[in-house]
Chains A and B, each alone.
Chain A
Amino acid sequence: MNKTVSVNISGYIFNIEETAFDKLNRYLNTIRGYFSESAGAEEIIEDIEARIAELFQERITDNYQVIKLKDVDEIITIMGEPEAYIDEEVELDEEEEIYSKTERKVRNKYRKLYRDPDDSVIGGVSSGIGHYFGMDPIWIRLLFILLVLGGGSGILIYIILWIIIPQAKNAAEKLEMRGDPVTAENIGRKVSEEYDSLKKKFSPKKENIKETGDKVGNAFQDFFGFLGKLLHLLVASLGKIFGFVFVFFGLLSIVALIFGVLGTGEIFNIISVSEGLQFSFHDIMVLFAVSPGYISWVYVVSIFVLGIPLLALVYLGFGLLTDFKLRVRGFGLALFILWLVFSVIGVALTGNFARNYIENNKVKEVYQLADIQSDTLTIVVLPDTIFDFHRAKRFNNNMDYIEITDDKIYLGSPLLDIVKSPDNEFKVVVSKESRGRNRKHAKENAKDIEYNFLQVGSIISFSPFYSLTTDNGYHFDQIRIKLMVPEGKAVDLSESSERIIYDIDNVTDTWDRNMIGKVWTMTEEGLQCIGCDKSDL
């Protein structure tokens, strides 16, 4: 009387004697262990199992229902010993094996770092490292214990190693872990050993004889094994979360990018709002008077330079979420090269663009003020019809003082300084600064700036902005006004002048803000507020 088990091979159920099953199982495991590294291993095993199922099926009749050891032996004869499965790649290994007998060092060639599931207290990290260096794992364990006691970094190191070092799953990997050559023969031996030890483990008689130390070890292993599973689960789910975030934001950004660039360029608005800028991409193109051809280049380059990394992010996310892998060789490299090419074009475009702003120059216009009836000149700034002065802090961001209309660009940041006049006349020096390809170009651009002020009697009114033509565009233009005050004469800084005064030197080092609403007299030392309360300055 023989015990039989029922097995499923390739979707068919067979009743097979236990001894026959053992043999068949060992045979298949040996083959599986051998193929574990090569491509298409699953498929080969499936083919072999399907063939075995077929051969079994041929044997079974109404009178012959159970597969016996003899059948398995016959099938192994038909299919061949595991060695017969060796494809040519292995021949190299066999040659190396000859060396390994003469030179021990070569053995390390085969050695790979794995966690050893058969000899583990926690996750098999120490024994794996032990195998790798050919040491007793006890020393590695002691080292970890020391690291844990002395600072606790051991725990973290252990967990990281646990995660990154793969477990030796099959016979081939276990042989590699120990540094034994992976040959069919060795795998066969290893599989048999494992099978025997597994049998022992599950055999009920043995359980009572288990040593106490072993039990403690097992309890440890169970506890930490559970922790390990939890940790792996955590890492896995963290990966999923990251995967989801990557895919979600990646796709969102790609859609936004395409709509933004093909549409109105509003995406750039979204990006820039966070920096306090109120410009669309289109506005910036107008501001710098970029030609339409150039703009389309910028659009195309932007899509590729920003889009490719986003695509990579989505791909990475998909990889984390699922096992999906795009198996097109060189696809990533091609994308990277494409990205590099467009980045280079982008840099070239930017460089070409930046060349237009490389030099600076200015135009100075000096105006003599006449018909001033009094000794005090009152400074007024005309009402601002374009900029909302309180919209933003003035000196934080000059970009807040740019307004674009169909034919003009208005800049709202003229800067007024007050200095001593070299003679007895009030003078206004308007200095128009701009940038360009070269000094000449910069000067021409400076001439393009239009700025107005008006003096009637003892009141001088400055415009709160200056303007450029959109044809010429913005070249980091700046208006600086110097009001020259003769010694002994005074200026009255009205409330509205706060709009344009900038860093005016005075005897008392009073801040611009506190100079407003006071009369300042030009003395030999400089501007001075005569009759002002000191606490006011």
Chain B
Amino acid sequence: MKVENTKAQMRKGVLEYCILSILHDNEAYPSDILERLKEGKLIVVEGTLYPLLTRLKNAGLLAYRWEESKSGPPRKYYRLTELGQQFTLELSKTWTELVQAVNTTTKKIKKS
């Protein structure tokens, strides 16, 4: 059991929720999303993001439109679908509950 693996697993679990949250307020292009994720140290490299976006899109949570770019090929701007909105709200609720639950259970460890 490696601590790195467990850490990675933890991050992965919340990654989807974070991506959906970023897109909750406004649409974004993968690099924008990535920047936000990098700030939170959730993702280090871009490669991780593409399969995730495709999967969320295939699940009907995300949609995208093309936009021309000055510096290269056209970009995909992602936004939440109706379903994605609901999904995000649901996750948000669960997350709040989870944070509370984890905090309550782990209090002792923090003190010691």
Contacts and interface: CB of A to CB of B under 8 A. Distances in A.
B24 interface: no
A79 interface: yes
Main secondary structure of the interface of B (DSSP, over half): helix
Given A40-B55, A47-B54, A77 B45 contact: yes
A85 B48 contact: yes
Contacts of A91: 9
Contact of A12 (B48, B72, B75): B72
Contacts of B44: 80, 84
A191 to B, nearest CB: 16
Interface centre among B31, B54, B69 (most CB of A within 10 A): B54
Nearest to A88: B12
A57 B72 contact: yes
Contacts of A31: 47
A51 interface: yes
Interface centre among A35, A39, A78 (most CB of B within 10 A): A78
Interface residues of A, number: 31
Contact of B73 (A12, A43, A58, A88): A12
Interface residues of B, number: 24
B28 interface: no
Interface string B44-67: 111110111111011000000000
Given A39-B58, A87-B51, A50 B46 contact: no
B50 A44 contact: yes
A350 interface: no
Given A35-B51, A87-B55, A50 B72 contact: yes
B74 to A, nearest CB: 8
Nearest to B72: A54
B71 interface: yes
Contacts of A11: 73
B47 A47 contact: no
A51 B71 CA distance: 11
A58 B71 contact: yes
Given A39-B58, A79-B46, A85 B51 contact: yes
Contact of A54 (B9, B12, B47, B73): B73
B45 A57 contact: no
Contacts of B47: 31, 48, 79-82, 84-85
A91 B12 CA distance: 11
A53 interface: yes
Nearest to B45: A80
A25 interface: no
A412 to B, nearest CB: 68
Nearest to B55: A87
A30 to B, nearest CB: 11
Given A54-B71, A85-B50, A40 B45 contact: no
Interface centre among B9, B30, B55, B72 (most CB of A within 10 A): B72
B72 A47 contact: no
B83 to A, nearest CB: 16
Given A78-B46, A80-B48, A44 B54 contact: yes
A88 B8 CA distance: 11
B45 A84 contact: yes
14 contacts: A10-B73, A12-B73, A31-B47, A39-B58, A40-B55, A44-B50, A50-B72, A50-B75, A54-B69, A54-B73, A79-B47, A80-B44, A80-B45, A91-B9
Interface of A: 10-12, 31, 35, 38-40, 43-44, 47-48, 50-51, 53-58, 77-82, 84-85, 87-88, 91
The 5 closest A-B pairs by CB, nearest first: A80-B45, A54-B72, A80-B47, A57-B72, A10-B73
Interface of B: 9, 12, 30-31, 44-48, 50-55, 57-58, 69, 71-76
